[in-house]
Amino acid sequence: MSPQNKQNSQRKTSALHEKTDKYTEFVSRGFGKDLAKRLGLPQPAVLRRYTPNGPLVQGPILVLGQGAGADAVAQVLLDWHQDVRRHATPKEKLGAIVAVLDELEHPDQLSTPMLALGAALRDLNKNARVVTVSRVASISDAPAVAAARNGVDGIVRSLAKELRAGATANGILLANDIAAQAPSAVAALRFFLSARSAFVDGQFLTASSAGSTTAPDWDKPLNGSVAVVTGAARGIGASIARTLARDGATVLVVDVPAAGDHLAAVANEIHGTALQLDITSLDAGERILEHAISRYGRLDIVVHNAGITRDKLLANMDAAKWDSVIAVNIASQLRMNEAFLASSDFANNPRIISVASTSGIAGNRGQSNYAASKAGVMGMVRSTAPLLSERGGTVNAVAPGFIETDMTAKIPFATREVARRLNSLQQGGKPSDVAEAIAFFAQPQAAGVTANVLRVCGQNMVGQ
């Protein structure tokens, strides 16, 4: 099979597994586009999503900033064979704008780069990217420095709500001892610029250490790695398994025995192995380790995806609904992590990535048990980070918003349509959007990115 035919086949296979938003398809072209415009209806763009060998961005990249950091970022982009501009050319369509603000010391310094950024926004291409590179605001900073750094937060989140045509705005936060061209910052920059971040909008990633200096393989970053994905029989979990396998990992997929047929189908599709297991079992972590080590001799990446909902208003909640959600969504992860951290076979720059939820950030009516479990996941991630750093590992979480799955397809039509449009991109995400974020956290280049909770929600209008 030719590379082009193989790529087309991969696209078709991926499309078969993902639900579609018929409204977005209808208003994106022809009569539907004209009708929506006349009636003042939402006109979500068809998002450009990642395909192997596709371009990083569609058009030149404008790099704003005057310091050494801006020069270094421009050189990184040139090394990636990108078309880089240091000054905007009127009416030239841009694929991205990168504003390097790593030397901010006072809010007065925001004016020049932000007005330059604003002047270039009208020239952005469809599905363009705006990325800021700035520093973490700390309680130890001088008040003016903290004010300037925190001001970038407000700018990015506001700008993300102004952009149109599938464009997104996100930011990279550097620890004080990290250079703008540090490997971890570069990895975050590539993720935000690429189509892998199609449904990530108005968000920040923190690079807390320099990260891996190993030469990156951007096409197959997970070559040689062994990963386990729980809840992998269908939906988001199956998409995670496919994406990790696409990026080079050997994947062990895990789900309950009742989902055995679907689980086996996923394992066969990605040339991995299946393990039927109830993750609430006291020995679940040990059994996963035993299977991975006996089969592959190692375990490098753990993705905690399995989760359930048992929704009820708290006034009507019973112990069975509450306890089952806590047991699956957070208690099992804590117990499995203890087993992984106790093992010498999970000690070579390991990765743990958990699937949280925007419900754990903003809460949701009738989901006090689910929100507790997902907020618990975020707390677990932040506290586990120091434990993993001792062995060169990282732990992060991805918090999806409205994602097109079998579960959301069962939501009543009107409720589903409202939920789809309540974000800056005015549409639901796809399971692959969650999977791409997880694959980013799993790659060696993200070794300096830990204790992050990245929302994959199109900048949902709730919470942060």
- Mean pLDDT over all residues of the chain? 92
Stretch among 28-37, 64-73, 77-86 having the lowest mean pLDDT: 28-37
Q: How far apart are CA 84 and CA 422, in angstroms?
A: 34
Query: DSSP letters along 87-115, please?
Result: S--TT--EEEEEEE-TT--SGGGGHHHHH
410 and 311 assigned to the same domain: yes
The burial class, CB within 10 Å (0-12 / 13-18 / 19+), for 294 is exposed
412-447 as b/e: b if 16+ CB within 10 A: eeeebeeebbbbbbbbbbbbbbbbbbbbbbbbbbbb
Selecting among 23, 50, 296, 370, the annotated active-site residue is 370
pLDDT at 275: 98
347 and 309 assigned to the same domain: yes
Query: DSSP letters along 151-189, please?
Result: HHHHHHHHHHHH--TT-EEEEEEE-TT--TTSHHHHHHH
Q: Which domain holds residue 13?
A: 3-39
pLDDT single digits (tens) 149-201: 999 999 999 999 999 999 999 999 999 999 999 999 999 999 999 999 999 99
313 and 404 assigned to the same domain: yes
203: how many CB neighbours lie within 10 A of its CB?
Answer: 24
Q: Is residue 56 part of a domain?
A: no
Q: Which of 174, 207, 240 is the last residue of a domain?
A: 207
222: how many CB neighbours lie within 10 A of its CB?
Answer: 24
For residues 98 and 63, the answer to whether their CB atoms sit within 8 Å is yes
247 and 396 assigned to the same domain: yes
Q: Which of 176, 207, 238 is the last residue of a domain?
A: 207
172 and 306 assigned to the same domain: no
Cβ neighbours for 248, distance < 8 A, ≥ 6 positions apart? 217, 220, 221, 222, 223, 224, 225
13 and 77 assigned to the same domain: no
pTM of the model: 0.92
Q: Is 118's pLDDT higher than 80?
A: yes
User: Number of structural domains, the chain?
Assistant: 3
Active site residue 50: no
pLDDT at 19: 66
Q: Is residue 215 part of a domain?
A: no
263 and 306 assigned to the same domain: yes
367 and 449 assigned to the same domain: yes
285 and 187 assigned to the same domain: no
pLDDT at 462: 59
8 and 65 assigned to the same domain: no
What mean pLDDT comes out for the span 387-416? 86
pLDDT at 301: 98
Structure tokens given for 130: 């705006």
Query: pLDDT band for position 6 (50/70/90)?
Result: very low
Q: Is 77's pLDDT higher than 80?
A: yes
Q: Is 9's pLDDT higher than 50?
A: no
- Element of type H or E holding 127: strand 124-135
293 and 261 assigned to the same domain: yes
Q: Is residue 212 part of a domain?
A: no
Q: Is residue 251 part of a domain?
A: yes
Q: Is 464's pLDDT higher than 90?
A: no
Q: Which of 154, 178, 207 is the last residue of a domain?
A: 207
The rounded percent of the chain whose pLDDT value lies above 70 is 94
CATH of residue 319: 3.40.50.720
pLDDT single digits (tens) 356-376: 999 999 998 999 999 999 999
pLDDT at 7: 45
pLDDT single digits (tens) 15-30: 556 666 777 777 777 7
Helix (H, G, I), strand (E, B) or coil at 204: strand
Amino acid at 163: L
| Phi, psi of 332, rounded to the nearest 5 degrees | -65, -40
For residues 451 and 396, the answer to whether their CB atoms sit within 8 Å is yes
Q: Is 48's pLDDT higher than 50?
A: yes
304 and 394 assigned to the same domain: yes
Q: Is residue 44 part of a domain?
A: no
Stretch among 2-6, 209-213, 393-397 having the lowest mean pLDDT: 2-6
pLDDT single digits (tens) 285-342: 999 999 999 999 999 999 999 999 999 999 999 999 999 999 999 999 999 999 999 9
Q: Is residue 13 part of a domain?
A: yes
Q: Is residue 213 part of a domain?
A: no
Q: Is residue 216 part of a domain?
A: no
